[in-house]
Chain A
Amino acid sequence: MSERTTQFTRSLGGLFHRAGIFGAVVLILAIGALVSPKFLTAGNLLNTVDSVMLLGIVAVGVAFVTYSGHYADLSVPTTMAFSGVMAVEMLRFGFVPALLAGLATGLGIGLVNALMVGRLRVNPIIWTLAMSYLTMGVMRWLWSNQQIYPDVKGGDTGAGRLFTELYRHEVLSRIPLPMVILALFAVAGHYVLTRTAFGQQLKLVGSNPSMAAMTGVRMPRTVGLAFVLSALAASVGGILITSLSKVGAYYNGEGYDFDAVTAVVLGGVMLTGGRGSMLGVLGGVLMLGLMSNILTLLGVDTFAQRIVKGAVFLAVVGVSSLLARRMGRDDA
């Protein structure tokens, strides 16, 4: 290859990393406009954003795990389901106790993951996969494979109604609550990642764990916190998805593990850890939403959409590894 082509590849790589995902978002907006006249309408775009708010909330949490170099948290879907089911079950004690129970469930799962991956250094993919299987078993066994309903569990306290209206609640009677939560999470996530000791040390851990350990980073605590944050975000997402579907069930949250990782990686958080940003993650989430919206407008059914999503994931991981290598570092 000549000197010039290499420089071209390199600047392309630089562009990919800097403008990152938002260049791709603009591109897909243009494609969408070509595909369907209905695409670039306020209503359609708002619907698109609406459809990925939960994914955004969950992805902000998973981003910490990926950033720390531990790839993904596969226990996200069952954490969502379990938090929702627990919240519904506790509605009998009132609305606030129910929410707290949901969050506590997430915290519990997060702490177990933190202990196993952070302190005992178990492979994160294998462990969270096992954790997911185990929690699923516990749920289906405890609730005899049944769905539970907020209005039934809440009795006549009114907590059930409050719970089912949670997702549709509008802050200042205008902005949907999940949107507000997503915005708060993203801002807080950005701050934690870039402006706290934890975020800085997480970058060291993601970039070179042995070096981080020999620099005085407390590995169990730092890695563990990433998994706890992931589980907490998942439990917030789980409570909201349960409120939306008005039913507590083990299958709530199905598919969020893969979607979240796809969004995170699409948003430029490297699977090898230590590189990426929360803004990018939001872009990745938006991108997934727009893609699936366009496919729906094209009349592609949801199962075929999975094929596209899987292909996009493979392409992104492939291209980013390739570009990283071209730029002269073979560690990606």
Chain B
Amino acid sequence: MSDIGLALQLEQVSKRYTGMLAVDGVDFDVRAGEVHALIGENGAGKSTLMNIIAGAFADYTGRILIGGQEVALHSPVAAKRHGIQMIHQELSLARTLSVAENLLAGRLPARLGILDRRALRAEARALLQRVGLDSLDPATLVEDIGQHEAQLVEIAKALGNRPCILVMDEPTSALSRDEVKHLFEIVRNLRRQGLAIVYISHHLPEILEIADRVSVMRDGKKIATREMRDVTQADLVEMMVGRAAAADLYSRKARPAPGKEKLQVRGLTRIGVFHDVSFSVRCGEILGIGGLAGSGRTELARALVAADAPDAGELLLDGCPVRPKRLSDAIRLGMAYLPEERKTLGLALRLSAGENLLAALIPRLTRRCHYSARRGDGTLGRLMGLLQVHPSDPQVTVHNLSGGNQQKVLLAKWLAVEPQVLILDEPTRGVDIGAKVIIHRAIEDVAEQGRAVILISSDLPELVSLSDRVLILRHGRMIREMPRESLSEEAVLLAANGGVGDV
């Protein structure tokens, strides 16, 4: 059974969460000196599979072999002892400590119990060199270095534990193109040194560039493992989602022309965040707002619904000035804001899908001091059906839903209040393609019913295909309005970066 060239081998590995198989009889292997990409939609089981390898679960079934020897990876400590290092999407560095202290956390060099600062520096330097950060002073605090450097420090930290298997989960999600190029050089270098690397990513072009082999997961099962040179991007998409779903995405439905102005914003300002922002959105219109991270898009949205108080400016709803003092006022006025941070701001993960879905509706389900969840049953059933939330049982704890289904519940929560102005902040971040299609259709439905939608998105294909018009925000100022005809991904990107953008 065992093969000497294989660093890691999984045989029929399964993991069951309450009621469902998250990983279902998966065979998987990685050779020493290989980059093996693992792809699949959110909820396909990639993260669970990798967490099994990282020793997060004591109750997986199946066999795991490392270097041909069967091992029990029942704790993170056991996984580390067997040479497995995982680099998570969310970085795990302590921001208030120095780079050196982070690198050698848990094994700080000491002499007679006293920290040996010179050895600390020297070891940290050596590790930083391996990831091309020769010029970074190890004494720098982590909070003072950039995202890209933090990512590399994270890798250096993992290398410090002398791994033979390195798992990288979405390592490029926060990096620019040049930084990705740099990262790939380091990954290739590590491969040359004989490391077995598992590389998880959503970015198919990156995988085509860096990986030697690829495995595709869907619904907890492994669909296929292929040599990279034998597949194209289209093949991968088809394996991930099936042909039908892939074709449905980004096709644009024709919509009736927008009606009268619903919401007008005049000179809205939060000092130091955004300045003198004016625009309007019509009934039945989807107004896109584009811009780079940090351009003030989220802050603008929060000010619109009075989650933060603006310093100046006014709002007109149906031509009448309104002055919501707090979020609950804005909701009563018919506005709704779906926040970007699904897990922290959007949902209460340990409550059920039903409780989350009806959360914003609580005041309306109360009559004469009597709250009745049953009054919300109709809405609940209709929206769970419309958005095809799976599983369809509203009693299921949201924590146990996949990212895509969580996002559907979050959208349903705000559709439930039947807003006249629906503001969406990254409505499909980190969701699988199937959920994305459903969410897009639901957004278009809202516009079709004559309600106004404001869509903030960094997903350019999404922004371009859904919006009737796109406003570009840069450094807190509205710098450009792009009508439907001139919309393209390149034009939006260029404008967001401050270019002229006449394409």
Contact = CB atoms under 8 A, between A and B. Distances in A.
Q: Is the interface of B mostly helix, strand, loop or mixed?
A: mixed
B17 A328 contact: yes
A329 B327 contact: no
* Candidate in B74, B345, B365 with the most chain A CB atoms within 10 angstroms: B345
Nearest to B369: A196
Given A3-B61, A10-B18, A217-B328, A329 B399 contact: yes
Interface stretch (A205-213, A227-235, A285-293, A300-308): A205-213
B359 interface: yes
A1 interface: yes
B346 interface: yes
Given A214-B327, A214-B337, A207 B350 contact: yes
A201 interface: yes
Given A200-B362, A214-B327, A195 B355 contact: no
A298 B399 CA distance: 46
Given A211-B344, A211-B345, A328-B17, A274 B359 contact: no
Interface in B325-355: 326-328, 330-331, 337, 339, 344-351, 355
The winner among A208, A210, A275 for most chain B CB atoms within 10 A is A208
A32 interface: no
Contacts of B330: 216
A203 B373 CA distance: 14
A214 B350 contact: no
Interface string B407-426: 00000010000000000000
Interface string A184-205: 0000000000011101110110
Nearest to A206: B348
Given A1-B59, A274-B350, A203 B355 contact: yes
A2 B347 CA distance: 32
Size bracket, chain B contacts: 35 or more
A208 B344 contact: yes
Interface string B301-332: 00000010000000000000000001110110
A199 B365 CA distance: 13
Contacts of B359: 204, 211-212, 215
A47 interface: no
A331 interface: yes
A208 B17 contact: no
B371 interface: yes
Contacts of B326: 216, 218
Contacts of A201: 362
Contact of B18 (A208, A212, A328): A328
Contacts of B400: 328
Contacts of B147: none
Contacts of B345: 210-211, 214
Given A203-B351, A274-B350, A274-B351, A210 B59 contact: no
B360 A215 contact: yes
Contacts of B350: 207-208, 274-275, 329, 331
Nearest to B399: A329
25 contacts: A197-B365, A197-B366, A197-B371, A199-B371, A200-B371, A204-B362, A207-B350, A208-B348, A208-B350, A210-B345, A211-B345, A211-B347, A212-B348, A214-B337, A214-B339, A214-B345, A215-B360, A216-B331, A216-B360, A217-B328, A218-B328, A274-B348, A327-B18, A329-B349, A331-B349
Interface of B: 16-18, 58-59, 61, 74, 307, 326-328, 330-331, 337, 339, 344-351, 355, 359-360, 362-363, 365-366, 369-372, 397, 399-400, 413
Please give me the 6 A-B residue pairs with the lowest Cβ-Cβ distance, nearest first: A207-B348, A208-B348, A216-B328, A197-B366, A216-B327, A214-B345
Interface of A: 1-3, 6, 10, 195-197, 199-201, 203-204, 207-208, 210-218, 274-275, 327-329, 331
Given A207-B351, A216-B326, A331-B349, 12 more contacts: A1-B59, A3-B16, A10-B18, A195-B370, A195-B372, A200-B362, A204-B362, A208-B350, A210-B345, A329-B397, A331-B350, A331-B399
